Amino acid sequence: MTWKKTSEDISATTWYPTKNYIKNSRLKAFIDRHHLLSYEDLLQKSTTNLEWFWTAIFKELDIQFYEPYKRIIDTSKGPAWPRWCVGGSLNIVHNCLDKWIDTTTKSKVAVQWEGEDGATIP
């Protein structure tokens, strides 16, 4: 048995942000901060200049490395086996939780489960 999506199915399950939502989004602020003209420009630059993109993302998200990486990516073993942040060292718990201890963010929920029915557990 096969099921084929119709345009009705797609439009009923697709969300499109409003102009106001886009204008106030962190993504739009990121695009503007980096003097890009559009989301499409960001997509193009993010795939053609990995070093720029990931350095900008790490800065944007305040990802802190204990030991800075020497190369953002090493694909010498082929694209199926990339090594990211070569030579770098970080602690994911520090970046996700610990660095927020002495800030107003410390009392916000860090992880929240949401079920298919919309029920949540912080």
Contacts of 90 (CB under 8 A, 6+ apart): 63, 64, 65, 66
Classify residue 2 by its DSSP letter.
-
Residue 34: phi and psi, rounded to 5, are -100, 15
At residue 6 the predicted structure's pLDDT band, cuts being 50, 70 and 90, is low
Q: What pTM was estimated for this model as a whole? A: 0.73
Per-residue pLDDT tens for 86-102? 999 999 999 988 998 99
Per-residue pLDDT tens for 17-50? 999 999 999 999 999 999 999 999 999 999 999 9
DSSP-assigned letters across all residues of 65-115: EEE--SEEEE-TT-TTS-EEEET-EE-HHHHHTGGGTTSGGGGS-S--EE-
**Mean pLDDT throughout 5-14?**
64
